[in-house]
């Protein structure tokens, strides 16, 4: 069929109306579809498997090792969300329901034991009304990994299984609710792609929020490493202040978070924040690429768990070098990248911690 020039022109206008031409809107859309939504979907599936694992373990259909693996997978999926905590999960204390850290006074152990003692037949509804300290992955980790708890012993397993099942169900319901809020007609995904809306006046405001979230996460990674390393306590290691110290997954969690931060920078198809830099700013882009590579390689080179590395001079030297590398990466984003893109970052959620 032969189309007239006028028809072709109108068709071109229609197509251009459907395809965002603003670079910032293109990037916000690409990151939403290529990075954020896939990560949230992975988290939902990991929590679905965690809930199923808890029920299977308590029914005698899974081993402790299998239950622990399901937990580690769920924890890794949660860690991957750290640089992506924008929207519903960053509001209403929901993130505290997933993970309670730092646990400076061993509140998790004390509150878990108190809850089980007061409600030996704990139901999911009971857990929903309880403190966030006992609702999330940190409490689940305590039950599965604490050396004082032997789930191979029948009485111990019977004692803790109602909590295991309830936490699994709570996490699955929370994750599913968050994803639904992302995928709703006027939900978070739509708000990151179509402007103006009730959350963002325009695409630059959305991109600024994505960068702000990423910068806060990189600062959070410094804290997660610096706290047990003793960077805030004159060099005295604090191994029990490490995230996931019971499961020895602290460094694996850092790696999962770092990978997500780098995906925000690069994008799924080289369409991340880095593509906003002009030719004149390419040198900054190269330095950020190199900083990610340096941090990733230092992390991958650590061959022992964090608790062991904290125990000798060589290990602490490696961890301090990793901390300094994270610091460089954070500064490049917070100062130079934000300035180059004309973004005011403002409040840091880790300030004052």
Place of tokens 């622990």: 68
CATH 1.20.1420.20 fits 23-192, yes or no: yes
Place of tokens 């509001």: 91
What's the average model confidence in pLDDT over 288-304? 97
What is the Cα–Cα distance from 288 to 281, expressed in whole angstroms? 11
Per-residue pLDDT tens over the stretch 53-91: 999 999 999 999 999 999 999 999 999 999 999 999 999
Band (228; pLDDT cuts 50, 70, 90): very high
* DSSP letter (8 states) at residue 3: P
What is the Cα–Cα distance from 53 to 108, expressed in whole angstroms? 21
> Please, what sign has the CA dihedral across residues 293, 296, 298, 303?
negative
Per-residue pLDDT tens over the stretch 8-24: 444 444 444 444 579 99
Is residue 293 a contact partner of residue 266, using CB atoms and an 8 Å limit? no
Locate 342 and state its tokens: 């004309």
What is the pTM (predicted TM-score) of this model?
A: 0.91
Bin 343: left if φ > 0, else alpha if -120 < ψ < 50, else beta: beta
What's the average model confidence in pLDDT over 150-174? 98
Is residue 197 a contact partner of residue 190, using CB atoms and an 8 Å limit? yes
Locate 34 and state its tokens: 């290529």
> Please, what sign has the CA dihedral across residues 312, 313, 314, 317?
positive
How far is C-alpha 167 from the geometric centre of its chain's CA atoms? Answer: 19
């Amino acid at each position: 069929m032969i189309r007239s020039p006028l028809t072709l022109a109108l068709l071109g206008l229609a197509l251009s109306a459907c395809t965002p031409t603003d670079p910032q809107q293109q990037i916000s859309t690409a990151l939403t579809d290529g990075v954020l939504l896939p990560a949230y979907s992975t988290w939902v599936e990991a929590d679905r498997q965690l809930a199923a694992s808890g029920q299977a373990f308590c029914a005698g259909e899974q081993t402790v090792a299998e239950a622990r693996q399901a937990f580690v997978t769920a924890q890794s999926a949660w860690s991957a969300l750290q640089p992506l905590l924008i929207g519903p999960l960053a509001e209403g204390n929901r993130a505290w329901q997933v993970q309670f850290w730092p646990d400076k006074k061993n509140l998790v152990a004390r509150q878990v034991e108190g809850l089980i003692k007061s409600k030996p037949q704990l139901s999911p509804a009971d857990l929903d009304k309880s403190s966030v300290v006992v609702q999330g992955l940190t409490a689940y980790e305590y039950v599965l990994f604490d050396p004082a708890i032997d789930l191979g012993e029948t009485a111990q397993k019977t004692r803790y299984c109602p909590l295991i099942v309830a936490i699994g169900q709570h996490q699955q319901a929370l994750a599913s609710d968050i994803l639904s809020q992302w995928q709703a007609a006027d939900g978070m995904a739509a708000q990151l792609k179509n402007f103006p809306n009730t959350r963002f006046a325009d695409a630059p405001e959305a991109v600024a929020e994505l960068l702000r979230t990423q910068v806060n996460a990189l600062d959070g990674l410094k804290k997660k490493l610096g706290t047990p390393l003793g960077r805030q306590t004159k060099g005295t290691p604090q191994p029990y202040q490490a995230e996931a110290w019971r499961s020895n997954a602290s460094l694996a969690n850092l790696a999962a978070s770092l990978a997500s931060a780098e995906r925000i920078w690069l994008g799924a198809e080289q369409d991340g924040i880095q593509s906003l830099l002009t030719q004149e700013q390419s040198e900054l882009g190269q330095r950020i690429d190199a900083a990610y590579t340096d941090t990733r390689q230092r992390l991958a080179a650590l061959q022992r768990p964090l608790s062991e590395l904290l125990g000798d001079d060589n290990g602490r030297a490696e961890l301090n070098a990793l901390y300094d590398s994270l610091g460089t990466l954070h500064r490049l984003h917070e100062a130079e990248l934000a300035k180059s893109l004309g973004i005011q970052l403002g409040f840091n959620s880790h300030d004052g911690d």
